[in-house]
Amino acid sequence: MTVVAGISTRLLHCLFEEELNQLLEELLIVPPVAYKDIRVLERHEQVVLTDSGGVQKEACILRVPCVTLRQETEWEETVRMGWNLLAGADKESILRAVEQFSDFISLSPQVVLYGVGDASKRIVEIIAAFLGGTGI
C-alpha cells in the first residue's frame, strides 16, 4: 500500500530537527496541495489518517474510512456511523485502526448525514397537514 503524506514544510523541518526523518522513508511525500486536490486524493484513498476535523467529515461523506489522530472529535456522528476511529497518537492504536478498516468499504452502508434533499417538500406537507390541506 502506498502512503501519501501531505506534509507541511514546518512539519518536515521538525521531523529532521528531531532526527525522525527515517519515518519518511516509507511515505510518498507531496507538498501541501490546494483544497480541490485534497478532495481528489481523499476520494481515492483506502483510509484517511488525519487530525483535521474537516477532513474527518469529508472522508465520511466520500465514504472513505478515517483514522483520527486525536482522542476526541467534534464530528461524533462519523464515529457513531463507523466511518471514523479515534486512535490518538499511539502507533499501535493507529495500526489497529487501519487494520480494522481493511475490508470496510464492501460492508458499509451509504452515508446519509443530513437527509436526502427533500426537507422543503416534507416541511410543506407537514404545514399543509397541520392546516388541513393536502400538501404538494
Q: Report yes or no: 85 and 100 within 8 Å, Cβ to Cβ.
A: yes
pLDDT surpasses 70 at 85: yes
Q: What angle do CA 66, 82, 60 make, to 5 degrees?
A: 45
- The DSSP symbol for 51 reads S
Model confidence band, residue 27 (pLDDT cutoffs 50, 70, 90) = confident
Per-residue pLDDT band at 3 (split at 50, 70, 90) = confident
pTM, entire model: 0.69
Cα distance between residue 94 and residue 70, in whole Å? 10
Using a 10 angstrom Cβ sphere, with 0-12 exposed, 13-18 middle and 19 or more buried, the burial of residue 1 is exposed
Percentage of residues in the chain having pLDDT higher than 90: 18
- Over the stretch 36-56, which tens digit does the pLDDT of each residue have? 888 888 888 888 888 888 899
- The DSSP result for 93-127, as a single string, is HHHHHHHHTTTHHHHPPPP-SS-SS-HHHHHHHHH
* Predicted pLDDT of residue 133: 65
Long-range contacts of 121-126 (CB under 8 A, 24+ apart): none
Q: pLDDT class for 110, splitting at 50, 70, 90?
A: low
CATH code given to domain 47-131: 3.40.50.2000
| C-alpha closest to that of 67 among 38, 30, 104 | 104
Per the model's pLDDT, the better-predicted residue between 17 and 76 turns out to be: 76
Band (pLDDT 50/70/90 cuts) for residue 67 is very high
Cβ-proximal residues to 126 (8 Å cutoff; 6+ apart), any chain: none
pLDDT computed for residue 135 by the predictor:
52
49 forms beta bridges with 67
Per-residue pLDDT for 111 more than 90? Answer: no
